[in-house]
Structure 1
Amino acid sequence: MVVYLDVLFAVNVLMDGASLLAAAALGGVRVRRIRWLTAAALGGGYAVLAAVLPTLAALPLRVLAGIGMCAAAFGGKPAFGRVCALYFVVAASFAGLAAALGAATGRKLLFGAGYYIAVPFRVLMLAAAAGYALSGILLRGDALHGPLRREVERLTVRFDGRKREVRLLHDTGNSLVEPVSGRPVLVLGREAACSLLDEEIKRVWTQKKDAAACLAALPSEATSRFGLLPYRAVGVESGLLLYFRPDSVQRADGTTLDCVCAIGPDGIGQGAYDGLIGV
């Protein structure tokens, strides 16, 4: 089969661009046009190189090439790992759809490490449009909200010189507010909360684990930033949570949230998220 490298490049720019856009739609992230075009062009260039040097089409190198494209498009974003995984899912779906269409028409659509138009161009466009519709529109938001199919928000919490990025589930039942200021409360899992505390406070918390006793045992210089929060929950008539006032809480869009952070129970979210947010 005669392969024209310029056509090979153009087709793979189109398909890689569609795959990246679908992954971005699934992951709920925005990608700048220049970064998207650059990443798609890198994918087209890799397909050309793999056609000239077939050893470059080996699976490990194809995976590395995919990671490189994702880095060019989404590098630096907090959700990079998730969006990169989504790209591979979308790319595999596109390849499977293209192979099925090629088999149905009796022509070859895949070549080396990329796509090649061995079927009418309108069939290729149909494959790209159908794949994007299924992954980027019909399933839009499922991956954004994670396996729970609920809304999860990423926040960056800073306290006493420490920083932690947390994933919080929006819980409409969480209406807790700080008694003094009325500020909303983020309920952090114990592991996430303790990663923001210094060793002395963590030692006190480990020894006491009772909110009131822990507050009473804190160093005097720290007590001004901590407090007790009464709460009720299913199966619990009443109780107290230890909370602290963070230096800042920043949302993914750069805005700040004026709130306090309470230390919740162990295993909150079972690893799917780090805590609860009700705002």
Structure 2
Amino acid sequence: MVVYADMLFLENLLANCFILKLTSVMSGFPSTLWRILLSASVGSLYAVFAVIYQSNPLIASLLVKMLISMLMVLIAFRVRNTTDFLKRWGIMLLVAFMLGGCTYAFSGVLGESMLTYGGLMYISPQGVLKAFLFAAGLCIILVRPIGRILSGKAIREGNIVRVNVILGKRSARFNALIDTGNSLIDPLTGYPVMIVEAESVKDIVPPDVYNFFLSSKVSDGQIKDEINPSWKSRMHLIPFKSIGRENGILAGFRPDAIRVLHGNSFKELRNVIVGICGIKLSNNSRYTALIGPASLANI
């Protein structure tokens, strides 16, 4: 059988991007598009070399495959410690096994012949493309329920949690609604964004910064020079889309710490940006912030 390197690379690139994106959604660990593409490209290049040099048993060995998968995780996600790495790696393997297993099962049900070469499965039109598409659809349906089961968290959609934002010696406490609709990500760092009413953090930010957050200057997409340099390094401008607004800009900042009341104690969140909005988020003021599941993944 003739295997074209460009087609093999492209097929693996698309499949790897899909796996990494599902891993991000299932685990609640965000990732940027360029990281996913770079990681998927590494895995795809390995697949090409594994076929070209299939006579070399080392390249196709289980050890090398594990090392490549580990490298893909390190490239795709920001890893701060061993626990975070193992979570991401384990979920990525689970997603890959789930996708491959479902593809194999659907190929049998649909009566399509499985094409393999060099230990790799092909999803080209003459292979198991239809089965792969069915498997991908099933994985998309199952990804969030499985993610909730794996997380084992008591914190659920629609719950209101107590949040403490710490900045230097000051802190602000307010209630936040857990909202799966808030999937906002800072494109520079890949960190999830918690949307907070400006009034809730007014007492912990300098007046000039607070005024900038609420000014029309935010829409210019630049942090003005009059802002204190020590604060400019904390500030982020996050693009977003909403109903009636295609190209909005939300200003935010990176606090020293964010803690969420979970059970009887406060748990610290890592790598979360506080995005400031100038409108009311709740009609009855039960909450003044929206926090997405990705922000709570490390609790």
* TM-score, length-scaled by structure 2: 0.49
AA aligned to 2:86 is: G
Note the C-alpha offset of 1:33: 0.5
Question: Match of 2:106?
Answer: 101
Do structure 1's residue 170 and structure 2's residue 177 form an aligned pair?
Answer: no
AA aligned to 1:34 is: W
Q: Is the 8 A contact 2:104 2:131 kept in 1?
A: no
Return closer, same or farther for 1:130/1:85 CA change in 2, 3 Å cut-off: same
Q: Can you give the 5+ residue segments of structure 2 that lack an aligned partner in the other structure?
A: 167-256, 275-297
Q: Is the 8 A contact 2:115 2:128 kept in 1?
A: no
* TM-score, length-scaled by structure 1: 0.52
Note the C-alpha offset of 1:250: 6.3
Return closer, same or farther for 1:167/1:24 CA change in 2, 3 Å cut-off: farther
Identity %: 25
Q: Is the 8 A contact 2:35 2:75 kept in 1?
A: yes
Return closer, same or farther for 1:187/1:7 CA change in 2, 3 Å cut-off: closer
Question: Match of 1:17?
Answer: 17
Structure-1 separation of matches of 2:113 and 2:269 = 53
Match of 2:118 among 106, 112, 118: 112
Question: Match of 1:84?
Answer: 89
Do structure 1's residue 58 and structure 2's residue 49 form an aligned pair?
Answer: no
Question: Match of 2:271?
Answer: 252
Return closer, same or farther for 1:167/1:96 CA change in 2, 3 Å cut-off: farther
Q: Is the 8 A contact 1:22 1:132 kept in 2?
A: yes
Question: Match of 1:130?
Answer: 138
Do structure 1's residue 68 and structure 2's residue 71 form an aligned pair?
Answer: yes
Instruction: Answer with 1 or 2: which has the greater Rg.
Output: 1
SS class of match (2:272): coil
Note the C-alpha offset of 1:93: 0.9
Note the C-alpha offset of 1:112: 3.4
Structure-2 separation of matches of 1:88 and 1:166 = 30
Return closer, same or farther for 1:73/1:127 CA change in 2, 3 Å cut-off: same
Q: Is the 8 A contact 1:70 1:84 kept in 2?
A: yes
Question: Match of 2:41?
Answer: 41
AA aligned to 2:91 is: L
Note the C-alpha offset of 1:47: 0.9
